[in-house]
Chains A and B, each alone.
Chain A
Amino acid sequence: MTSAPTESTKVKNRRPRQAVHFGEPLPLGAHLCRASWLCGPSVTWMMLFLVGPLLFVVAMSFAQRGDDGEIVWRFTTENYARLFGQGALGFDPVQPLILARSLGVGLLTAILCLLAGLPVAFFIAGLPHRWKGAALTLVVIPFWTNLLVRTYGWQLILAPDGWIARGLRTANWLAADGELYPGWPAVLIALVCDYLPFMILPLYTSVEKLDPALEEAAADLGASPLRAFWSVVLPQIRPGLIAGCVLVFLPASGQFVIPDLLGGAKLALLGNAVQQQFGASRDWPYGSAIAVVALLVMGAGLWLHTRVTRGRREVALP
């Protein structure tokens, strides 16, 4: 086992990766030449409108707010200190709480989507072939409606005098003065419903590839259904599971429309905080700092994802 990695590096060194064009090996110069005019436009576009502004935001997060809300280009780390709770009057938990709450909401949404999505993925994978396409279309149908429209729809459905809220009150699952909207229940319901397809689709692709013989082998070797799921099925669908969790967690923790409209403007998340700083508060440097931290958190999530999935491949191909 110890010799395996060196062998693979040997193979890598012996055969450097070379570009191939319709089966013909391409010299590096020709490859770069070709690539430059093919990829040039999109690279220029990304540089001008994504990387440039991003660097500007990072720079701005180290600037200061002027008295009239203008940007004063004087270096400071105060924005970050404030975000992590270093207020003028000592430790102020409000801002770190927003960060923690956003991550918590993202995580909770991902977990709820996972719990709701797993059975759906298995159900679709188990359907006869000709029905699978239709079922997958049904999963993505909500995307045909604009997010904003859907969110306003939830306002009506979950309204305090709506039939769902009234029904829950009659069943005594909701306090007499309790309500779903505005509040956390409505936000979570909407988040889970909106991001569920992002969980179901990658899960489905993994579940689809499962070999039923492996489950039989597990049962044959004495694994109860639960243990077979845990020790054989789950490891097989792990790539889809991780992809789904990342795809749900990242946008859900940065979502600002849903908490704003359904949380009754009481529940600030990262997205809301950024929106507020760039809007009403006119504190662009602080808003930038929040955005940068949000970006770093998401980046860390993605890095963890690739690391875990690549880690698997490294085990698989030593």
Chain B
Amino acid sequence: MTIFLQLVASGVAVGMIYAAIAFGYQLTFATSKTLNFGQGEALALGALFGLTVVPFTGYWLMIPLVLVFGFGLGAVVERLAVRPAIKIKSEYGWIMATIALGIIFKNVAENIWGRDDLKFPSPLPEAAIELGGVRILPMEVLIVAGALLMMLAVEVFNRKSIWGKAVIATSNDIDAAGLMGINTKRVITLSYSISAMTAAFAGVLVAPVTLTGATMGSVLALKAFAVAIIGGLESGLGVIVGGLILGVAETLTGFYISTGYKDVPGLILLLVVLSIRPVGLFGKAVIKKV
């Protein structure tokens, strides 16, 4: 039983990372019905950028810099890969273009930071805390708190600020938002910026407990998509539930079957959910109109 609880506790942290990335997918999908297939690379670049500045700034000052970096990165992705495709209404266009940018980012990162995985210094003691027989790393607590805080901050921004409300309005009804005088193109750029910012921050959070490198984000991002699907791509905090389910499922698989298969449940879940209930477990069916 203790082992089981231990596995659940470890799964929660990685689950929150999935939730944070999935949350980023939701943001852009809501405003523009597009998403960044290079989200994993945004995460990796965030972590690598953080790793580079952390010797100069220390851990805590590094975080705002990474947020700014992610914010800018998202805007670049939107302007280069998404906006032109939206303009010519090409779904294939933005899928391929965001993939292409992702590959470029990954390749450039490999050339700058090398192909080997790097160690990210942990800001907290590495010794585990024992809680009722369950060992928890302080970094895991930081991951959970950080990811929740990030999502909460974005939610507060969306609910309270006028530009945040413009983001929600654009997500609800892009034409009506335009009629309100909202420049919806700018809102879409903003949503990409926030989305990449979330991913970059998730990268910094997860880096100390995994290894840091150009390829660290690819599979994370794919599994986060599974979480976004389970939680519903349209909106909602279903991603937290989805992230937790997947995180725990993975640690259980890793322990009881083989660590080599720990990515499989997420991917199978993605296949199964999309084959059976494409709108996700929490999404609602849309009536197709002819």
Do A and B come together as binding partners? no
Hey, which bits of chain A sit against chain B, CB under 8 A? none
